[in-house]
């Protein structure tokens, strides 16, 4: 998918929009540029995030979005790919660690969840463009509601419709639908494998909405 970057700058997330603090990846030591934190999105994406918030609260008064991650430099993408892989390997038994087939399976799971940290400007990781956001929901008391899995979960439960036919996952499925409905109504598209990942203006958005080109390419410095 072609990219014709419109040159729109990154903008800070709107004041008052809940976010997970400290930032999950920064807390791990991810290499964000000095003075260039993760709480940024392209301006039009930030505007649509506010629209999604308004739509959500119109249907569910008192509820709110909670931002997990926004702009993510390629260096941070590479850091998190390695961190995710090393975490899974550390959890394994010695016999699993010695099994090449098991290791290949884990690597496939990690690379399915995390986009390749490509330096090729034709194939930027979605978050590096400032067009993608990872988001969940909180209720009237500011408490996170059940979503069925953690953000960045490697298993099948990360699929948006994983709990659609599970009688034990009704609440999680309904909450995922609440989030999805608000975000899609605001112009975002949803990642096909991740209930938490939405974007506007990147290559996934262009592909899923039938656009000739994406609006946003990689933002290297966060400027």
Which tokens hold the place of 178? 């609440």
From the list 8, 88, 157, 194, the catalytic residue is 194
Contact 214, 201 (CB under 8 A): yes
Cβ neighbors of 159 (< 8 A, separation 6 or more) are: 193, 194, 195
Count CA atoms within 13 Å of residue 173 on its CB side: 10
For 200, other C-beta atoms within 10 Å of its C-beta total 26
Helices (H), the chain: 24-27, 43-59, 74-91, 94-97, 100-113, 170-185, 203-209
> Is 194 a known active-site residue?
yes
Cα-only R_g, the chain: 17
Q: How far is it, in rounded angstroms, from Cα 71 to Cα 59? A: 28
Which tokens hold the place of 75? 């260096």
Q: How far is it, in rounded angstroms, from Cα 3 to Cα 215? A: 6
| Residue numbers annotated as active site | 194
């Amino acid at each position: 998918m072609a990219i014709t970057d419109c040159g729109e700058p990154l903008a800070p997330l709107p004041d008052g929009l809940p976010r997970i603090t400290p930032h999950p990846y920064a807390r791990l030591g991810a290499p964000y540029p000095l003075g260039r934190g993760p709480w940024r999105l392209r301006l039009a994406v930030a505007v649509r995030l506010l629209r999604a918030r308004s739509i959500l609260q119109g249907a569910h008064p008192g509820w709110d979005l909670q931002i997990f991650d926004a702009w993510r430099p390629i260096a941070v993408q590479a850091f998190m790919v390695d961190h995710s892989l090393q975490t899974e390997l550390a959890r394994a038994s010695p016999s699993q660690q010695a099994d090449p087939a098991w290791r290949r399976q884990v690597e496939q799971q990690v690379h399915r969840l995390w986009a390749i940290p490509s330096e090729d400007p034709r194939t930027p990781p979605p978050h590096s463009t400032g067009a993608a956001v990872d988001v969940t929901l909180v209720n009237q008391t500011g408490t996170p509601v059940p979503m069925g899995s953690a953000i960045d979960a490697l298993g099948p439960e990360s699929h948006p419709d994983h709990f659609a036919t599970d009688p034990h996952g009704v609440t999680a499925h309904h909450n995922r639908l609440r989030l999805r409905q608000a975000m899609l109504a605001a112009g975002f598209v949803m990642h096909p494998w991740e209930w938490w990942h939405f974007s506007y203006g990147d290559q996934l958005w262009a592909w899923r909405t039938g656009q000739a080109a994406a609006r946003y390419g990689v933002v290297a410095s966060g400027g």
